[in-house]
A and B are shown apart, each in its own frame.
Chain A
Amino acid sequence: MKFIYLSWWKYLAVAIIMYTLLAGFLLGVPRLFILHETIRNTYFHVPMWIAMFTVFTISVIFSIKYLGSGNEKHDLLAVECANVGVFFFVLGLITGMIWADYAWGEYWSNDPKQNSAAIAFLLYCAYLVLRNAIDEEQKRAKISAIYNIFAFPIMIVLIMVLPRMTDSLHPGNGGNPAFGKLDMDNRMRMVLYPAFIGWSLFAAWIATLRYRVRLVEYNRNSIN
């Protein structure tokens, strides 16, 4: 847990995102109909979801750890990661809707990926509501850890698996390859993959800040 107090990876996150801001706007992109310049949205819309996956993954790891250790710190980190994940979910959804209005003609076209992402959002809202509904600390931590372990694979299936099995407007669904030759080239990959790493670290950083505030509150309450 000492890792979260180090600062090198925070500087790294900022540096990588800075690079994607510069390269994302200045480097060349494929000239495609319908998309035009909005293809650059890939550098910013998709990393929101990857960042969300990263913090949700950290969250479920610490939920599992909590069940093994009973250490409240693990539970607190799991919650704060889930909180930040929901935040990045909202960012991903809003940026996606703006893009969808331009590229697909509607903010919400009941695309399978849009719909199942919305269901996954409810899943995590339920997690946060569930926590607030239980007063007793240990019971709350235990029940929400178990819920989180179930919610995580369902979220992955909803967002990553089910939309791929039907026709969808999103690339990578309904048989067309995601990030394939049609919509992506190596110039774009050189920006997109660093963006995944940069935004994931950035989201994790925000989560650790929130966790540390929680920890201070927790310690204060247990002393009094």
Chain B
Amino acid sequence: MPKKITIEPVTRVEGHGKVTIHMDDSNQVVQSRLHIVEFRGFERFIQGRPYWEAPVLVQRLCGICPVSHHLAAAKAMDEIVGAGTGDGLTPTGEKMRRLMHYGQIFQSHALHFFHLASPDMLFGIEADPNIRNIIGVALEHQDLAVQGVMMRKFGQEVIQATAGKKIHGTGAIPGGMNKSLTPEERDSFLLGKDPLNVDKMIEWSLGALDFFKSYHSQNRELVDNFANFPSSHLSLVRKDGAMDLYHGVLRAVDAEGKKILHDVDYQKYYEYIGEEVRSWSYMKFPFLKEYGKEKGWYRVGPLARMNTADFIPTPLAQKEHEIFRAYTNGKPNGMSMHMHWARLIEILHSAEMMKELLYDPDITGDQLVTKGNKQYEGVGLIEAPRGTLFHHYRINEDDQIDMANLIVSTTNNNTPMNLAVESVAKDYMNGHAVISEGMMNAVEVAIRAYDPCLSCATHALGKMPLEIKILDKSGNILDKKRSS
């Protein structure tokens, strides 16, 4: 009997997600889908609010990556106050924003690697879930667990020092920043008591890379073949082709490495990128207009950024980038599990960037804000931890926002995540009528590689159960599992 397997919601994925896998009579996977079942309606909510509130308001979207939304909105508002795009800010304004951003990338990637990815690597995808988590890591590899905790803490403290506070930070304002670092704050990050200083963070970042490379060398077949599929890749790059996570031009390359979006100004992103709505998901499917809905999809995030950038402008990360690129002979890398490798190179790059910025005298400067001629439209793009984040606003004569369009990183990865699920479903589920713990986690590992953040603005106690259902084609439940 044809049947549909539903995994609902996906564990360790923020917000509500559901996976359905349709099988034919001989238990072969014929189709799989990742459904996003929560609708946020944020773009309508923000209409009517004064534009200068946007950088703070947008942090309501997400308790996980508020800094990315804060900075993307601030960049859009830079346009509106006439401060220009990215490089129009004062040196102190721009460098403080960059420090905040690299602190965010650093702590977010550290959380993902140590908390979410390392358990699967240390214990195996099919290991008992009671062991396969950071508590298990703490028991058997305490040094790694401590590093994960302290790297998160370091990044969070950088964010607090730059954004002003942990919750609803106000550091970035239209046209610049409202604070710089004090010498005491700067010195605490440079010379802080071990391990909370930037040199230790660089050392640990290199150690995490060694850990991954060792795992890779011992599990090459799994790491290279798991959810491996060709795709295009999109990200911001600096005008000279360097990786730049804060600002740049939009570049996309195809699966062969050929440029298909040629370093364009992102203020006109809508001329190049469309968004498709499909009936079975609240999350849209972005695509490059020139290549259409079927062929124009792309990946974003750490893997994409490794593939689009010509080089990384910090020495240790550049050395790792060269090794990464050489692994696929300079061609774009389509291996989903190599997202972890890419993420670790970005952790290292972020630590190096933080050190460079902390030693820059501008970081304690007092010229914080630039203003110019007011505009009525602005677009802010940033490379958030999970990928390219788009914020687009228009305002009216009364300075109220009357149009907002956001394309969040996870939305950009919608098609790739669906393809990753399908790839793994075929590899692990063909010929099986029920889901084992290992099969279920394989699907989740594929999704988690993209580190999606589906919707995480509320989390009140009593929500978010984990439920697994198996249904036949008529919707009858054949099996059901639930945990909290």
Asked if A and B are interacting partners, one says no
A binding-site residues for B, Cβ under 8 Å = none
Q: Residues of B at under 8 Å CB distance from A? A: none
